[in-house]
Amino acid sequence: MTSSSEGEILQASQIIRDRWKIKQKVGGGGFGEIYEALDIQNHNERVAIKVESSKATKQVLKMEVAVLRRLQGKVHACKFYGCGRNDKFNYLVMSLQGKNLADLRRESPKQCFSVSTAIRLGFQILGAIREIHSIGFLHRDIKPSNFAMGRTSSNMRNVFMLDFGLARQYLNAKGEIRSPRTAAGFRGTVRYASVTAHKNKEMGRQDDLWSLFYMLVEFLQGSLPWRKIKDKDEVGRMKDEADIGKLLEGCPQELNEFAMHLQTLGYPDLPDYDMLERLLATVLSRMQIKMDDPYDWELGYENLTGRTKGATANGNASTRLRSHTTAMKDRGPAEEKNRALDTQAPITMGEDDDEQTGNCMRFAPVHHDDKHEKPKYKRQEFMRPKYGAVSFDVIDAVNARINAVSSKNELFENMQIETSVHNKDDRNSVEANFEVPSNVVKYTVVGAKNGSLSPQPAARMKNLAQQQSVEKTPKSNRSLTGSTKYTGKQPKSADTNALMDDEIASGTAGKLAPTIVSKWHSSFDESADDDGLAAAGDLPVEKQTVGKRSPLANDNRRGPLRALGTSSSSRQQQALAPSRFPIDSNNSSSPPSAEPRRTTMTTSRSGIPSTTQPSSNVASPSSGVFGSSSRPSATNTTTSSSIMSHFKNLVNTFNNLGTAAGNVRRRSLSRGVSLDDTRTNFSARSPNGNQLNSTGVSTPVSSATTPSSGGGSLGVRKISHPALTSSKVVTSTVANSPTSDEERELRRQRRLRRRSEVTLPQKDSNSTENIQNAVHKTIVINSPTLVDSKVFTVADDGKKAPVGRRKRYQFLNFSPRAASKS
C-alpha cells in the first residue's frame, strides 16, 4: 500500500462527489491508481476507487465501467457503485477487495502456493473467466495481480476479477463471434500472455485460459521459466517451444490435460469450461482437498514452510522439488526480485486495434534491472472513449415509440410529437422540431451571443419545479450523446476542449466543424452502451443482477438530467460539468462569431405515473430538471444538453414503455433507430402544418401515414385529444442550482455564455388547429461536415426540398481511426 502523495491523482481526505472520501492509495498499475475510500453517505463503507487522469490521451476506465456493469451479479465481480469524471480524472467506484493473488503468492515463503490453494484458486479463476466470457468479453490480461480475494468475512474466500481495461468483445450484437483481425497487436502481460498474443493474433477465449494455465504453473512452481526474460518475442518463443510436460513437472497431471485441451482451441472455439473445471475438481478430490480448507495465507503459510514433508501434487515430494529446480533453474534467491515482472504492466506492440474495446496500450519496462523497482509504464496515445453514434432517426424513433405505445397505452393517446429535420439554406444546420400537444408548458430558448437571461424563465421554472412530483425511476443504460453548435465562424485553434472532443469524437478532426456550443455526454457511467459497445448491449448475455447499491437503483444514477445537474447536490453537478462540457476552465472565451441559435424547449406540468416510468433517464420532474434543485436557475440552462437529454429521454421513455407494454422491442440508440420501424406510422408534414407526401407535396394533415424514409422529415401523428394527460418526455429544460463554489459557478457562467440565452417561457402561438398548447421544439445542429445526408435542403427562396436519403447523423460518432489520425 502506498499513501497518497503529490503527483498522485487523488489526495487523502479528498472527497469525491460529496460521497467518497479518499483514505489511501492501494494500488496502481499501467493505467490508473486505486484508492481506498469511505462512503460517507453509507456508514463509511470502504470502497475502492480506480481513477485515471483525464489527461491520459487514451482513457480506458470507460471500458472497465462497461464490463463491470455487465458483470454485476456475477460471483467474481466487484460491486459497481458508481463512476464519473471531471476535468481532472475519471473514476470508478467499486467494492473494495483484499489482497491480490500476486501479493499473496509473494508473501509465501517459497513464492508458491500449495496444490490445495493453487488449484482452488484456479477453480475460481476459471469461473471468473467463464463469467466474463459469458457476457461476450475477453479479459485479455489474466494475471495474479488482476485477481483479489474478498475483504469481508462473507467474501474473503472468494476470488474477484479486476481490471477490465484490456477487455474486448468477442461477440457481435447478434451473439456471433466477431471476425478475427489478421493482425491484432499484442495485448496482455508478457509473463502470462498466450502464444497467440505474442504472435499478435486475435485472441480468443482460450487465450484467457492459457494465461490461467501459466498462472497455475507459477502458483505451483513458484515461477515461470521466462520470468526473467525481458524480450517479449523471446518469451513468446519460449512459450511456443515449451515442453508442457516439462513445464508441469511436479504439478498435478490433470494440468497436462488442461493444456492439451487449450491446444485444440482456435479463435472461434468454445472452450469446454466444464471439462476444465472437472480436471481441477479431480485434482482436489484425488488429493482429498475440500473447498473450505484454509488457504495458505489463512494458515500463515505454515503449511508451506515444511512442504517437503507434505504431499505433493502427484504424491511425490522429490518430484515436486525437482520440478522446482527444473522449472526455475534461473530463479534467484530473493523472492522480491520477481515483484516487478510479476506485476509488470501489460504491453502492446504494433498497435493497430481499431476497436473501441480495450485497445489500450500498456508498455512494459524494457530495461529491468530486476531490482525492486516498480515497472515503468509508458503511456502512449491512449484511445479516447468512443462516444456513441447518434442517429437523427431517433427523432422518428420517438414518434415510433409514441405510436407504438399509444396504440396500447392510453397514456400517450393524447400526445403528439412533430418532428422535422432539415438543413438550412446554409446547409450548416439541421433542425429538429418537436411538437407536443398538451397541457405542457412550453419554453422557448433562444440562443444568443451574450448569454443574457431574463429572470422570468427562472421564476417560471421554479414554479414548475415546485409543481413537479417527486418520482424515482430505475435507470436506463441507454444514453445519447449529442452536440449542438453555433452557426458562424469556425473557432481558431484549440479554442475549447469541447471542440477538440467533438472533433475527435466525430472523427472529423482536421476538418473543423462549426463552433461547438456544447457537447453533452449523457454521463460517464451511463454511457457504457454507447461506448462502442452497442453490440454488447444486445448480446444474449446472462441476465444481470445489479447489487442493491447499483447505480441502477440508487442515487448514483446519472440520467441525462442528472448529468444536467438538476437531480442531486450541486457538488455532484459540478463534478459532472467538466465532463459534459470539457472546456478548459481557464478558457472563458465565447466561440468567435457565434450566431444565435434557436431552441425551443418544453417541459411538462405532469409526470408520467411512476408505474409507467421505466427509467430515471427519463426527464422526470423530480430527478430531472426541476426535481431537487431548490433554486432552479435559467442562467444555468445548458440548452444543448437539454436538447440531447430530451432526445434521450424521449426514446428511453418509449423504449421502456413499449417494452412494458410488451409491444415494443428495445433497440440500441447507438445503432440508430430505423425509419423502417414497422410499428411507426408517420405523416410527413410541412412546416405550415400540411402533410407532405413522399414527393414533398403538401396536403392538409390528416392521419398517420407511413414514415418518410427519404427527404421527408416531418412526423406527425394525428391526435384526437389535445390534452396531454401525462408527459415527462418533454421535461428537459435545465435548471442548475447555484452553488456556493464561486469558481465553479463562474465556470458555468462562462460555459453558459458560450451557449445560449434562455428567454422567457411563452405560450406556443404556433399550435396546429388540432393541437392546443402544442410545444414546439427546435433543435439546430450545425454539422456540415458531420452530417452526411440531409433530409431537407432549403433553397434561397426558402423552399424546402427533400434530398438524399436519411442516414445516421454521426455527429458524435467516434472513430478511433480518425482519432488516431488526428
Ligand X SMILES: Nc1ncnc2c1ncn2[C@@H]1O[C@H](COP(=O)(O)OP(=O)(O)OP(=O)(O)O)[C@@H](O)[C@H]1O
Binding site for ATP, by residue number, is 50
109 C-beta neighbours (distance < 10 Å), count:
12
> What's the rounded Cα separation, in Å, for the pair 751 and 714?
32
User: Which residue is closest to ligand X by CB?
Assistant: 29
Which of 4, 54, 59, 97 is the binder for ligand X (CB under 6 A)? 97
> What's the rounded Cα separation, in Å, for the pair 481 and 542?
27
Which of 39, 131, 163, 202 is the binder for ligand X (CB under 6 A)? 163
Q: Which residues are annotated as part of the binding site? A: 50
619: which 3 cell numbers?
426527464
- 72 near ligand X (CB under 6 A): no
Q: How far is the CB of 30 from ligand X (least distance, A)?
A: 3
> What's the rounded Cα separation, in Å, for the pair 558 and 551?
8
Q: How far is the CB of 140 from ligand X (least distance, A)?
A: 11
- 792 near ligand X (CB under 6 A): no
- 162 near ligand X (CB under 6 A): yes
Question: Which one, of 645, 733, 639, 730, lies nearest residue 448 by Cα?
Answer: 639
Q: In terms of CB distance, is 146 or 726 closer to ligand X?
A: 146
What does the chain come to in residues? 822
Question: Which one, of 213, 225, 73, 97, lies nearest residue 159 by Cα?
Answer: 97
User: Rounded to a whole number, what is the distance in angstroms from the first to the last CA of the chain?
Assistant: 38
Asked if 359 contacts 346 with a C-beta cutoff of 8 angstroms, the reply is no
> What's the rounded Cα separation, in Å, for the pair 473 and 383?
34
Asked if 80 contacts 553 with a C-beta cutoff of 8 angstroms, the reply is no
- 551 near ligand X (CB under 6 A): no
Which of 67, 96, 159, 724 is the binder for ligand X (CB under 6 A)? 96
Q: In terms of CB distance, is 29 or 488 closer to ligand X?
A: 29
Beta bridge partners of 45: 39
Q: In terms of CB distance, is 27 or 784 closer to ligand X?
A: 27
* φ, ψ at 262 (rounded to 5°): -60, -35
Which of 16, 37, 48, 535 is the binder for ligand X (CB under 6 A)? 48
Q: In terms of CB distance, is 343 or 603 closer to ligand X?
A: 343
Q: In terms of CB distance, is 32 or 532 closer to ligand X?
A: 32
Beta bridge partners of 48: 36, 94
- 119 near ligand X (CB under 6 A): no
> What's the rounded Cα separation, in Å, for the pair 395 and 809?
11
> What's the rounded Cα separation, in Å, for the pair 479 and 200?
34
- 94 near ligand X (CB under 6 A): yes
Which of 59, 117, 146, 556 is the binder for ligand X (CB under 6 A)? 146
Q: In terms of CB distance, is 162 or 441 closer to ligand X?
A: 162
Question: Which one, of 619, 589, 615, lies nearest residue 730 by Cα?
Answer: 619
Residues 6 or more apart whose CB falls under 8 angstroms from that of 678 comprise none
Instruction: Report the site for ligand X in 272-311 (rule: CB under 6 A).
Output: none
Which of 66, 68, 118, 148 is the binder for ligand X (CB under 6 A)? 148
Of residues 141, 393, 525, 530, which has the active-site annotation?
Answer: 141
Asked if 156 contacts 150 with a C-beta cutoff of 8 angstroms, the reply is yes
Instruction: Name the one range near ligand X by CB under 6 A: 25-33, 310-318, 333-341, 744-752.
Output: 25-33
* φ, ψ at 168 (rounded to 5°): -150, 140
Asked if 126 contacts 283 with a C-beta cutoff of 8 angstroms, the reply is no
676 tagged catalytic:
no
- 29 near ligand X (CB under 6 A): yes
- 415 near ligand X (CB under 6 A): no
Q: How far is the CB of 90 from ligand X (least distance, A)?
A: 12
Instruction: Report the site for ligand X in 329-358 (rule: CB under 6 A).
Output: 343, 345-346
- 49 near ligand X (CB under 6 A): no
Q: How far is the CB of 122 from ligand X (least distance, A)?
A: 18
Binding site for ligand X (CB under 6 A): 26-27, 29-32, 34, 48, 50, 78, 94, 96-97, 100, 141, 145-146, 148, 162-163, 165, 343, 345-346, 362
Query: Residues with catalytic annotation?
Result: 141
